[in-house]
Amino acid sequence: MQINSKRLFIWAGIVALLLLIPLIAMQFTSEVNWDFTDFAIMGAILFGLGFAYELIASRSANTVYRTAFGVGLLGAFLLFWVNAAVGIIGNEGQTANLLYVAVFVVGLVGALISRFKARGMAYTLFTAAAIQMLVPATAYFIWPPPVTSWSPNVFGVFLMSGFFAILFMVSGVLFQKAADSSREIPQ
């Protein structure tokens, strides 16, 4: 299958509508202060996610596979956005937040090694979920609370990491279900 250009235009429209949110918010509050670069980067990221979804999901007729891929992308996007915007451990400037890059590396390498096959993607997402929870555990020992601000608190950091891990686990379970239905991505 090939990517439907009409669907890419729909994604571009969705991205434009989403970017209206901070643009409108800037008219009413000084808390939102985006410049052109912020809009360009967020627009590129959002459109890139839509493009990636269309590229990979268009290769499978399996709805469960498509849903799994969408949930995994959503989890990765939200992890990136939250970590870059405000940070998960302390603030966005805390060195400990760089450990979350490991989750993205596992996801990318696992997807490439498995060639986006459902069973391999399931293993990849389960591993990403485990790494997601290992990051705050590792950071806790390297940068304990007296050394590093663990805002909101240690429990909050683990809770937030758990939210992302659950998204990755849900995606992994859906990929497992897609693999069990034996409709893998065509060779």
Report residue 129 as tokens.
């979920």
State yes or no: pLDDT of 187 exceeds 50. no
Helices (H) and strands (E) in the chain, counts: 6, 0
CB 58 within 8 A of CB 3: yes
Q: Is the pLDDT of residue 147 over 70?
A: no
* 134-146 core/surface letters (b: 16 or more CB in 10 A; e: else): ebbeebbeebeee
| Average pLDDT rounded to a whole number, residues 141-160 | 80
Whole-number average pLDDT of the chain: 90
pLDDT at residue 1, as a whole number: 55
Q: Which residue has the higher pLDDT, 183 or 143?
A: 143
Quickly list DSSP for 156-170: HHHHHHHHHHHHHHH
Closest Cα to residue 62, out of 151, 7, 1, 133? Answer: 1
The answer on pLDDT for 66 being more than 50 is yes
Checking if the pLDDT of 89 tops 90, the result is: no
Mutual angle of helices 101-114 and 63-85, in 10-degree steps: 160
- Where exactly are the structural domains of the chain? 1-58, 62-187
Distance, in Å, from the CA atom of 103 to the CA atom of 124, rounded to the nearest integer, reads 10
As a whole number of angstroms, the distance between CA 135 and CA 131 comes to 6
CB burial of residue 187 (10 Å; 0-12, 13-18, 19+): exposed
pTM for the full model? 0.86
